Chain A
Amino acid sequence: MSANTPRLSAPRLRAGAWYGYVLLVALFLMTPLFTLVIASFYDGRFLSIVDYAFTLHWYEVAFASTSIQSAFLNTAKIAVPVTLLSTVIGTGGAVAYTRHEFPFREQFKLLALLPIFFPLLLLGLGMSLWANVTNLGYGILPSVIGELVWISPIVMFVVSITALGVDPDIEEAARDLGADTVTLYKDVVLPLIADGIVSGAIFAFVLAWNNYYIVSYLSGAQSTITTWIHAKMTQGFTPTVPAVSSLIFYSSVLLVVVVALFEYNKSEGDEHS
């Protein structure tokens, strides 16, 4: 690079340094994930990047294992309802907060967004005690309700950001043009905040898919992907662990990239219009 640009000016060098630093931080954040991917394809006992031997064996083992299959299935049984419900619940909260005036509005925001700032350990512990006291029990359903508490506020946050960008007079205009309440929300408000809802739903799915603390306290005898990984990490490592971990990493990357492209296209579109 520097060889191709004979006169490397000081400002360019400084700009390069900023890029370099951010790249370094990004690499730091990605290192463990890259390590997992490297380990997942490695054929051998000790992980060495010098005499690396490639294999798909651990993925085959992972796909063939019934305990891993059932862990994936349980994770899906939790993540899919959590995605659907948290999107509805979070969007409801966002529309109420951003498009309406009502008493105790700020207090409502405080309560509704507070779970985002809670350490998940604390949420998990409290829910575990609560499930015991109320006879809610442990399993798929309690895990779904538990994850909703953390994820619905995040959806509300994401949708609120979009909803606040919509013209505040739009409801009144729609009313003046004769829209009734159902039409107002179905044909005016929801389409305008649809982008935020889709982003929120995808985030909800990824977070539910990756959640460990809450399910570890509420899933009881049911094993999910994250609790399976944790159990294998602390007792009895097998080389399938990196493969399974990589699998959930791939799915997260895919979905986050989809959201990013979606948001990026939208902002590009805004600039052109």
Chain B
Amino acid sequence: MSTKHRLKSHFDRAAGYTRDSSNPLFALVRPPWLFMAPIVALLLFMFVGPMLAIVVFSLQSGNTIDPNPLHWTLAHYAEIVTGMATGTGVYGQVLGNTALVSAATVLATLVVSYPAAYALARKIKRYKVVFLLLLIIPLFTSVNVRVFGWALFLVENGVLHSIFNLVGIGQYPSLLYNRYTVLFGTTYVYLPFMLFPIYLSLLTIDDVTFEAARDLGAGPLTIFRKIVFPLSMPGVVIGSLFVFVLSLGADVEAQILGGGSVFTMASNINYSFGYSQNWPLGSAQAVGLLLITIVAGVVILRSLDLREIASRGESR
């Protein structure tokens, strides 16, 4: 009992409850630092470390790290950048494909999800939980499994085939293994990442704002142009960045639905690590992806106010 008491008072002192501890080491077992320590340690070891490993590997000439930094080389960057700048060879194609797929995915997800987000935030009152569930469940099912489901749907003698047969369409071009199928796949997979940020930003608009606008004689189009769209901009920006970055890393979609017909940055990185066993070259390409991701992630997190999201959840 006395040991327990002593420990307890010790912990209290360390926690700063009785503020007489002068030993700075005690500060580390105080609540905020004590609670932060595990996640910080984990991320330093298995997140910062791996990302540094990618950067260091991109400067090597072989698949091992040379301890002498003087032997490091920028040759892989030179190869990739000249390829991309001149638009020739595999890198010119990869840059074009990747930029095209990612930009088109952002556009397609935006067009499809904006009306849905608007309807969910403002129009749908009954069965809202059911709708939200149907939209959330795919997010929690492996990308693998969903892409495979589409392959079964689209494949010859698949579900779509029998639907088409039912309505009397016998002949149609193959819907698998082309660049539009890849775009279709990325649009499908990343749609929720666009929908939910827009939905959350639309939830903030008060009904009073709409009434006031209507009282002042604003038509539906004016209300959308002057109120709804500007106020949903944060959601649109966050969603677009999110979708853009995630679709840059899309690999399974290109592999399963594209069947190797489209080479994107992600599939090319994977190729460098897998078949051609050229880790430095793969790493150098991954560094490009890493830089874009960090910039986009920091922008998203800066503009993301958790407190606001929490208060929206309550007013739901």
- 15 example contacts (A-B, Cβ-Cβ < 8 A) are as follows A22-B120, A26-B134, A35-B153, A88-B38, A92-B35, A113-B301, A117-B242, A117-B301, A120-B249, A126-B51, A128-B273, A161-B309, A165-B311, A165-B314, A182-B8
Of the residues A98, A114, A134, A242, contact of B294 by C-beta under 8 Å: A114
Complex A-B, nearest 9 residue pairs according to Cβ-Cβ distance, in ascending order:
A119-B249, A32-B149, A126-B50, A117-B297, A26-B134, A164-B310, A210-B142, A100-B32, A96-B35
Q: Is residue B245 within 8 Å, beta carbon to beta carbon, of the partner chain?
A: yes
Question: For chain B, which range describes its interface: under 10, 10 to 19, 20 to 34, or 35 or more residues?
Answer: 35 or more
Please encode chain A, from 121 to 163, with 1 for each CB lying within 8 Å of some chain B CB and 0 for all others.
Answer: 1110111111001100000000001101100110011001110
Give the residue among B38, B157, B289 with the most A Cβ atoms within 10 A: B38
Contacts of B134 in A (CB 8 A): 26, 29-30
Contacts of B46 in A (CB 8 A): 127, 130, 145-146, 148-149
Chain A residue with Cβ nearest B144: A212
Please encode chain B, from 293 to 316, with 1 for each CB lying within 8 Å of some chain A CB and 0 for all others.
Answer: 110111011100011011101101
Complex contact B39–A32 (CB within 8 A): no
Give the contact stretch, choosing among A1-9, A53-61, A66-74, A246-254. Answer: A246-254
Contacts of A79 in B (CB 8 A): none
Of the residues B31, B65, B161, B273, contact of A100 by C-beta under 8 Å: B31
Check A180/B12 contact, CB under 8 A, given A18-B124, A115-B43, A118-B297: yes
Check A256/B140 contact, CB under 8 A, given A22-B119, A121-B270, A233-B256: yes
Contacts of B45 in A (CB 8 A): 145
Chain B residue with Cβ nearest A175: B17
Contacts of B289 in A (CB 8 A): 119, 122
Contacts of B188 in A (CB 8 A): 28-29, 32
Q: Is residue B136 within 8 Å, beta carbon to beta carbon, of the partner chain?
A: yes
Give the residue among B51, B245, B255 with the most A Cβ atoms within 10 A: B51
Complex contact A32–B269 (CB within 8 A): no
Q: How many residues of A contact B (CB 8 A)?
A: 101
Complex contact B50–A46 (CB within 8 A): no
Cα(A35)–Cα(B294), bound, Å: 36
**19 more CB-based (< 8 A) A-B contacts, given A153-B39, A164-B307, A185-B31:** A25-B112, A25-B113, A32-B148, A33-B145, A48-B162, A109-B306, A119-B289, A125-B54, A126-B51, A129-B50, A180-B12, A181-B11, A181-B15, A229-B142, A229-B148, A248-B145, A252-B137, A256-B133, A264-B129
Please encode chain B, from 16 to 51, with 1 for each CB lying within 8 Å of some chain A CB and 0 for all others.
Answer: 010000000000000111111111101101110111
